[in-house]
Amino acid sequence: MIAGMEQWETVDAGWGRLAADFATFSEPSNVREYLSLHRAVGLEAGDSVLDLACGAGLALELASLRGADVAGIDASPRLVAIARDRNPDGDLRVGDMNHLPWPEASFDVVTSFRGVWATTPDALTEALRVLRPGGRFAMTVWGHIKASPGAWSLAPFALAAAPTVSNQAAMNQMGRPGVGERLLVEAGFADVERISIPFAWEFADPEAYARALASTGPAYEAIGEVGAEEFHRRCVELASERVREGLPLRAEIDVAGFTARRRLDLPESYDDAFTGSFLSAYPPNETAEQMRREDLDDDGYVSTVTKLWARMPGAFDQLFALQRSAAAFGGLSLRHRGVLTTATAATLGDSACAYAWGGKLAGWAEDPQVPASVLRGDDEALTAQERVLARWARQVVGDPNSTTETDLEALRAAGFDDDQIFAATLFVVLRLAFSTFNDALGLRLDRAVVEALPAVVRDAVTWGRESV
């Protein structure tokens, strides 16, 4: 370690001395790894993401292309300079990942690509601290290198002094079975899962391989032992044995990944005694609290639907996932779904779904008379095809045993094939199950939803429970 410097500050000597070479000769081969982990952690537009040991910032650039707001930290000022060039709108800082300069609960996602080691467990504690409750963490580490077909490509690192090689082995312990999982759990993470990450270095020729490898931190330690010329010679000699006519040098190496999350901070109980249904307030659980917080963020209040369905976490999502699958199978448009749902709600006398979906259909149709006519039952504002669809929904809800082949012929004549008839019927039945469940337990829709409706839609609902 350089005298007068913290250990993290010496990283620039190894990784930063050939920063441009690393960014252009070495890092592009990591794209498979970056994209795979981003997918595994569910990174999406609008997420705020911090990358620990962000290096030259290519992973953050890819995250930004997905619509994420990016931040990163690295110990090398020269690598951070490239990261800032690649991510001009990002929050890129030089610093120590064991002492992050961001306040608690700052990010939706924290990542690290082979930047956190078994010898740096404090970085995991810090990653947890800056994650928002419920936030996601994902990282990669070297896996079973010796069993990898590309293990040859890392062999020159062993030219370093014996104590240095031993320290590198200690750093790489996180990839061993159970080690990474244990360290993440000890740091306080929940739902820890190990995943397989695709990784392959590719080089145009032995010279490109030698130049790429020389730009890394472990190479710096080997070069310090044998010298730059000898290191280069050994790299070229090794890679020359792997040349394939017309193909790049390729080194596939085992890389392991981990995903985890920060637990939600659950209240002891919920003070809101009024639930909008006959049931008492739902018990605190992480999924319920996540639904509650999403409502507060989106609408400023917790909806009565959330208060009812959060009692059994996952049930709401599973029911509507099946309904979306049915609609997708039949190619049902948003207007088709709106007509089916409003006709179902009106026939059953379900005011909550009538209000909620009347508003949706008014927006999709760009005409509030469309849902109003379905809710009244006259269908005046519907197309001829939509009238047939509305009649079918009413018959399925009102008296399914009265249906005949003639009714299906009317649907076929309107342009619906048998797959679409199947899908529309399943869609209606699932909506009926949802509405029946809500009505039986006394669900009443939030007044804010009803007050935001066009008057013609609101006035068309003359049955069911009042809003709250």
Q: CB burial class (10 A; 0-12, 13-18, 19+) of residue 269? A: exposed
| Mean pLDDT on 141-148 | 92
- Ranges 31-40, 289-298, 311-320, 441-450: which has the least confidence: 289-298
Spatial CA neighbour of 118 closest among 189, 193, 175: 175
pLDDT tens digits, 369-416: 999 999 999 999 999 999 999 999 999 999 999 999 999 999 999 999
pLDDT tens digits, 225-268: 999 999 999 999 999 999 999 999 999 999 999 999 998 876 66
pLDDT tens digits, 157-215: 999 899 888 877 777 888 899 999 999 999 999 999 999 999 999 999 999 999 999 99
446's tokens: 């939030």
| Mean pLDDT on 274-281 | 83
Query: What's the pLDDT at 433?
Result: 97
Q: Is 8 a residue whose pLDDT tops 60?
A: no
pLDDT tens digits, 334-368: 999 999 999 999 999 999 999 999 999 999 999 99
Of residues 296 and 187, more confidently modeled: 187
pLDDT band at 1 (very low <50, low <70, confident <90, very high): very low
Q: Is the C-alpha dihedral spanning 77, 79, 85, 86 positive or negative? A: negative
Query: What's the pLDDT at 178?
Result: 92
340's tokens: 């089916």
Please report, rounded to a whole number, the percentage of residues in the chain having pLDDT higher than 90. 78
Mean pLDDT of the chain: 92
| Cα-to-chain-centroid distance, residue 377 | 42
Question: 249 and 242 in contact (C-beta within 8 Å)?
Answer: yes
252's tokens: 């596939």
Residues 6+ apart with CB under 8 A from 48: 68, 69, 70, 71, 106, 107, 108, 109
The Cα 65–Cα 26 span in angstroms is: 21
| Mean pLDDT on 421-427 | 97
Question: 337 and 327 in contact (C-beta within 8 Å)?
Answer: yes
Q: Is 328 a residue whose pLDDT tops 50?
A: yes
Please report, rounded to a whole number, the percentage of residues in the chain having pLDDT higher than 70. 96
Query: What's the pLDDT at 4?
Result: 45
Q: Can you identify the CATH homologous superfamily of domain 7-261?
A: Vaccinia Virus protein VP39 (3.40.50.150)
Question: 173 and 225 in contact (C-beta within 8 Å)?
Answer: no
pLDDT band at 273 (very low <50, low <70, confident <90, very high): low
Sequence ranges of the domains in the chain: 7-261, 314-460
Query: What's the pLDDT at 6?
Result: 55
Q: Is 280 a residue whose pLDDT tops 50?
A: yes
Query: Fold for domain 314-460?
Result: AhpD-like (1.20.1290)
Kind and range of the H or E run holding 48: strand 48-52
Query: What's the pLDDT at 164?
Result: 82
Q: Is 70 a residue whose pLDDT tops 90?
A: yes
Q: CB burial class (10 A; 0-12, 13-18, 19+) of residue 179? A: middle
Name the strands in the sheet holding 91-94, side by side, starting at the edge strand that comes first in the sequence.
Answer: 91-94, 69-74, 48-52, 107-113, 131-142, 255-261, 190-197
pLDDT band at 5 (very low <50, low <70, confident <90, very high): very low
Question: 156 and 238 in contact (C-beta within 8 Å)?
Answer: yes
pLDDT band at 271 (very low <50, low <70, confident <90, very high): low
